[in-house]
Structure 1
Amino acid sequence: MQFEQLKTPNGQTMEGPLLMTPKCFGDNRGWFYESWSRRSFDNAVGETVVFSQDNHSRSIQGVLRGLHYQLAPEPQAKVVRATLGAIFDVAVDIRSSSPTCGAWIGAELSAENKAQLWIPEGFAHGFLTLSAVAEVQYKARGFWNKACERALRWDDPTLAIDWPQGELNGNTISLSPKDAEAPDFLSAKTSGDLFP
């Protein structure tokens, strides 16, 4: 497994998230790859990570889920991958003390490239479905807790996320009612809904 730090659009390296790309072995019979190894993963992130639950979602093209996060006492970290189709996956740094607070990184995750994104606590997460259908699976550290759950607006001009809407073949962004009503980054900051 190869682990890579990603850069923000302005070229800053963002500490925390890691793009994980496995080595795939294949021939005319099919392929095999190791999708996760505790030893290599814990070495790469510098801590022992114990996951609490696995989640699986299915979305049609244009569905945007996010930007979601949970605050203390039950923050969540995730390892995200697409096992069918393709998504554009985004992490936004919402750690107030971070030099990249308010910045974002993004990567295409697909069944074809088999890449995964580690998103630690302190980041908001969202993805846009690029293919006709995509299935996303992720491991989560920390259980879902409605009282801790928060969201940020996907099209917040302060965050200025460059979602690849040109890849939607004319389809428009589709949001849940909750995501459509999410506050912007500055409102969340003012109300104390960011990480320290």
Structure 2
Amino acid sequence: MRVIETEIPEVKRVIPKRHGDERGWFSEVFRMDQLAERGIANVFVQDNQSFSAPVGTLRGLHFQTPPAAQAKLVRVLAGAILDVAVDIRRGSSTFGKYVAVRLDAENGEQLFIPHGFAHGFCTLEPNTMVAYKVDAYYSPANDRNIVWNDPEIGIDWPVSEAEAILSAKDKAAPRLAEAPELF
């Protein structure tokens, strides 16, 4: 298993090794010991899964505030996404900056998103299924979001505002500068 830092070093690409033959392949997609050896020592307590039928489904930018902040380990089981992590740690040298990585079922790459980051993704293929581990339980009282197309963040999404398929919650999210509770 390889772990590679991104432009924001706390956000990491996780690349499990695949062992293949004429039947297909096998991969250990999660090994707590190997991740800990490579700097990801989070204890994951909940697995989440989402399914998005249409291309252009956009989920995010979501996060939970302390004490229920969540780190995530995200992977795609079917289809493909543009996965995005935005630094929302006030005082950080990368505050408001983001990392965007294509994740797909074919290559099996994962993205580790630590505490202090908002997370979102946009589906690139139909019938996309995303699975992710979190290190804190879902807490409705700590659930927050930031608008996906905040111009001050400037994420280069693969869809326009007219094409993006959003929940009512995500449409009504505040901009980063207006978000009262961050890190």
Common fold by TM > 0.5: yes
- Partners of 2:159 and 2:167 in 1: CA distance: 17
What is the aligned partner in structure 1 of residue 47 from structure 2?
A: 54
Identity of aligned residues (%): 44
Q: Any idea what the Cα deviations from partners look like across 1:94-116, whole Å, max 9, x if unmatched?
A: 01121100000010111001000
Aligned CA RMSD, in angstroms, stands at 1.3
Q: Counterpart of 2:51 in 1: which secondary structure?
A: strand
Q: Counterpart of 1:42 in 2: which secondary structure?
A: helix
Q: Any idea what the Cα deviations from partners look like across 1:13-56, whole Å, max 9, x if unmatched?
A: x131100111111121110111011111112225x321111011
- Partners of 1:45 and 1:106 in 2: CA distance: 20
TM-score, normalising length: structure 2: 0.95
Structure 1 stretches of 4+ with a deviation exceeding 2 A read none
Matches within 5 A, 1:112-127: 112-127=106-121
AA paired with 1:114?
A: G
Q: CA deviation at 1:161?
A: 0.2
Q: How many residues align?
A: 181
Which consecutive residues of structure 2, in runs of 5 or more, have no partner in the other structure? none
- Partners of 1:87 and 1:148 in 2: CA distance: 26
1:105 maps to 2:96: no
What is the aligned partner in structure 1 of residue 4 from structure 2?
A: 4
- Partners of 1:97 and 1:42 in 2: CA distance: 27
| Further displaced range: 157-166 or 142-151 | 157-166
AA paired with 1:55?
A: N
The structure 2 residue matched to 1:20, chosen from 14, 17, 30, is 14
1:151 maps to 2:145: yes
Which consecutive residues of structure 1, in runs of 5 or more, have no partner in the other structure? 8-13
What is the aligned partner in structure 2 of residue 44 from structure 1?
A: 38
Matches within 5 A, 1:30-109: 30-45=24-39, 48-60=41-53, 61-109=55-103
- Partners of 2:9 and 2:140 in 1: CA distance: 27
TM-score, normalising length: structure 1: 0.89
Q: Counterpart of 2:38 in 1: which secondary structure?
A: helix
